[in-house]
Amino acid sequence: MTTLQIVDPFVNPELRAFQAGAEDQEQVQELILQTARWLHSKGSTQWGKLLKGMDDHNLEGAISRGEVIIFRTSEGHPLAGSMILQQQPSAWDRKLWGLDDADSDGGTSVYLHRLVVDRDRTGKGLGRELVQWIEKGTRFTGKDRIRLDCIAGNDKLSRFYQQCGYTYIGETGGYNIFEKMLTEVKEK
């Protein structure tokens, strides 16, 4: 199992990254649900399963594996955002990326899921800062790319990921998949 390390906790001078602990789960869950409700209010079906109580990405397990990053001005302050950086492909990832069970070591990819920004902080470039922070602020053993997906009909989000340097790989199962090669392999 590879380990995520935060090597630069500063997203910007005011915002820091922390690995989430069990005590943060409720706040992270509420931030994710807040975003899911907002998406639903805009007519999107993305993350609709969350509103029905289904969690394809197992937030509790991701926190226990050290894969959930939270962002706040300092410890104890409200969350500004969060994300999951999975070093092993989930069943969801395997399906979207066409991986078989023989790829049990997870390969060289990190899977970005559930990137969220507090609704009061949207429209100010924070989402872009969080996506860009991944490359400078983290290290992974033997990983050379980050993969992510979004619902195929969300053109704005697809453009956002492309503007952040992610390459559109294609559409599978109604989802756009993107990949970004890292400039150097994260700690072999």
How large is the C-alpha radius of gyration of the chain?
16
How confident is the model over 55-96, as pLDDT tens digits? 888 999 999 999 999 999 987 789 999 999 999 898 889 999
- Weakest-pLDDT range from 45-49, 79-83, 119-123: 45-49
Cβ atoms of residues 50 and 84 within 8 Å: no
Indicate the pTM of the whole model: 0.91
Tell me what pLDDT residue 186 has: 45
Residue among 157, 153, 51 at smallest CA distance from 112:
157
Residue 184, pLDDT > 70, answer: no
Q: Look at residues 13, 30, 12 and name the one whose alpha carbon lies nearest to residue 82.
A: 30
